[in-house]
Structure 1
Amino acid sequence: MEITQLSTELLSFLFVTAFVAGFLDTLAGGGGLISLPALILSGIPPLSALGTNKLQGSMGTATATYVMLSNKRVRWSEVKQLMLSAFVGSLLGTIAVQFMNPEILNFVVPTVLVVISIYFLLAPQPKIDGGRSRISSAVYQKTVVPLIGWYDGMFGPGTGSFFAFSGVSLRGQGLIEATAVAKTLNFSTNFASLAIFLIAGKVAWLAGMVMILGQFAGAWLGSHCLFKIDHKILRLIVVAMCLLMLLRYTFSMGWLS
């Protein structure tokens, strides 16, 4: 879809959706489960939707990574090799998705989003204090990290949660430490994936910039909210919005007619 085909109504829809995604993502995670279906529903081709989602999502992970490193919540010496593994995995995943038939992607991407939505809703909350390490750091770096990176390059939503959950369950990290490390790894995967999408020309710039503004505003509001909401309720809202948009998409594609 050409950028010129994006109407004011569609851009407004993308802005509002990105705002909501940024707000909910700040409080409970899972913003990609809202932003990517919104791009698909807007009629943007699947590859361009994936690329544009990376553009708007990279800003958030870049900011979070800067904060984590500058505040010494994570140390560069401890995450640089992990970030490199994540980068390579994402690079390969993004290259692979470029060769997938767009018609197949029209079905595969929504299907993956449904599966990840269900996982996001039902997955148990990781332990705050972590536990025993189940695999060595070398095995984790060479297998788990690039595998999650490959998934992020192919699709994306839920990657940050996967990194955090693997850090807690496989490396015995506390939830706060695992989440901090996950931000840096997610930035690395986003950067690698975005680079490939840019080279391939699969980014709708106007839509992406509008969504960046919405994400920033939503994240700012979310970070300044003083009231507390049950994260399970927020997760339910994220999943419900994702599934409703995908249901609307199935009708627009004529799959249920």
Structure 2
Amino acid sequence: MFALSPDLVLMLACAAFAAGFVDAIAGGGGLITVPALMLAGLPPAQALATNKIQGAFGAATAAFSYARRGLVDPRAQLVPALIAFVAGVAGAALVAHLPTEALRYALPAVLIGIALFFALKPGLDDRDRARRITPALFALTAVPLVGFYDGLVGPGAGAFYMLSFVLLAGHGILRATAQTKLLNLASNLGGLLAFAAVGQPVWLLGLMMAGCQVAGAATGAALAMRIGARVIKPLLVLTSTALALRLIWQMV
């Protein structure tokens, strides 16, 4: 058991707010909170599990904010969200049985590719485009793949959901961001359920950070809805690149 000093409590509160803000706009909040939790004394697996507690509150806040503005219809996303939840449970349940380290080696290249796509692809804005696959096929392919990854590994899941909505569903940047949040919440909750079954999350710590995560998510969603692609794209590029560099740094 570890004790939290006042300076660590302040650090975790600030980290949770910043993560909620970033996650509501572009995803990647775990890049901030997971290292902070490890600095507070949690081992990596427990830090990932605890991160899902406060992350779920932030994702729920962002999803509610976007839904209230009419950018996403929660009823239309019920089935995809259920699929994401089940996939998140499966991913987290198989953490100990699958070669996640091998996946981590490929992640930096994938994340840098996502960053380059959003940075260099011309014409990416808030306007919707023609979708490439039907909503049903999207729910049966992209959603479970990203949801499973979210439960198995986690970091970058928001960027993968976002890319899927832009490339396959034809959504504009702002609408893709809004659609991502409910699915991210569902797979996050699925992963949390699996982690909770083996007693890994530190509930009190995760709940303590949740309030700051909620405040950050509400602020981030409000900014994204006001400015749209002009703030979402640069932040998505920045968070994807930062996560890729962090993963590379951990390997060397």
TM band (smaller chain): 0.7 to 0.9
In the TM superposition, what are the counterparts of 1:1-257 in structure 2 within 5 Å?
2=1, 4-99=2-97, 114=108, 118-119=112-113, 121-124=115-118, 126-222=124-220, 234=235, 238=239
Instruction: Indicate if the aligned counterparts of 1:153 and 1:189 stay in contact, CA closer than 8 A.
Output: yes
Deviation of 1:47 after TM superposition, in Å, equals 1.9
From the superposition, tell whether residues 223 and 63 of structure 1 become closer, same or farther in structure 2 (CA, over 3 Å).
closer
d(CA) in 2 for partners of 1:110, 1:6: 30
The SS at the match of 2:129 is: coil
Instruction: Indicate if the aligned counterparts of 1:37 and 1:245 stay in contact, CA closer than 8 A.
Output: no
Instruction: Indicate if the aligned counterparts of 2:115 and 2:238 stay in contact, CA closer than 8 A.
Output: no
From the superposition, tell whether residues 241 and 18 of structure 1 become closer, same or farther in structure 2 (CA, over 3 Å).
farther
Deviation of 1:23 after TM superposition, in Å, equals 3.1
The letter of the residue matching 2:116 is L
The SS at the match of 1:124 is: helix
Query: What TM-score, normalized to structure 1?
Result: 0.75
Instruction: Indicate if the aligned counterparts of 1:130 and 1:169 stay in contact, CA closer than 8 A.
Output: no
Query: What TM-score, normalized to structure 2?
Result: 0.77
Provide structure 1 residue ranges, at least 5 long, that are not aligned to the other structure.
none
Q: Deviations over 1:111-164 (max 9, x none)?
A: 577556535643416443232322233322212110000011012222223222
The SS at the match of 1:157 is: coil
Instruction: Indicate if the aligned counterparts of 1:93 and 1:151 stay in contact, CA closer than 8 A.
Output: yes
The letter of the residue matching 1:63 is T
The letter of the residue matching 2:112 is I
Q: Deviations over 1:190-240 (max 9, x none)?
A: 111111112221112233133223323434554677997865664576468
From the superposition, tell whether residues 132 and 23 of structure 1 become closer, same or farther in structure 2 (CA, over 3 Å).
closer
Q: Deviations over 1:165-203 (max 9, x none)?
A: 212211223333332221111111111111111222111
The letter of the residue matching 1:55 is I
d(CA) in 2 for partners of 1:138, 1:225: 31
d(CA) in 1 for partners of 2:235, 2:38: 23
**Residue identity (%):** 36
Aligned length: 245
Deviation of 1:44 after TM superposition, in Å, equals 1.5
d(CA) in 2 for partners of 1:133, 1:151: 23
> Bigger CA drift: 121-130 or 29-38?
121-130
From the superposition, tell whether residues 238 and 74 of structure 1 become closer, same or farther in structure 2 (CA, over 3 Å).
closer
d(CA) in 1 for partners of 2:106, 2:43: 16
> Bigger CA drift: 22-31 or 160-169?
22-31
The letter of the residue matching 2:22 is L
Deviation of 1:92 after TM superposition, in Å, equals 0.7
Instruction: Indicate if the aligned counterparts of 2:17 and 2:212 stay in contact, CA closer than 8 A.
Output: yes
The SS at the match of 1:73 is: coil
